[in-house]
Amino acid sequence: MSRETFMQVRQWALVTGVSLSAGFFAMGWLGIRTSDFVPMVIASIAGFEMALLGRDLAEKRLRG
């Protein structure tokens, strides 16, 4: 996978995570019951992003 494609995957993960989070909190605010699956998906996307952030920070540190 090229670096450009990888960055696009990260951007889509960010957009998806923010959208799901906003929807989840809006539904809670409106009193609509949500599935237990939604917070797990949000957490998994956040974990994916944090792992990639850690990878980027480690690469920067190794490069100088």
Token readout for 29 is 């605010």
Q: Give me the domain span that covers residue 24.
A: 3-63
The predicted pLDDT at position 42 comes to: 93
pLDDT tens for each residue of 21-61: 999 999 999 999 988 999 999 999 999 989 988 988 898 89
Under 8 Å between Cβ of 20 and 45 = yes
Who has greater pLDDT, 5 or 30? Answer: 30
Pairwise CA distance, residues 49 & 52, whole Å: 5
Q: How many domains does the chain have?
A: 1
Its pTM stands at: 0.76
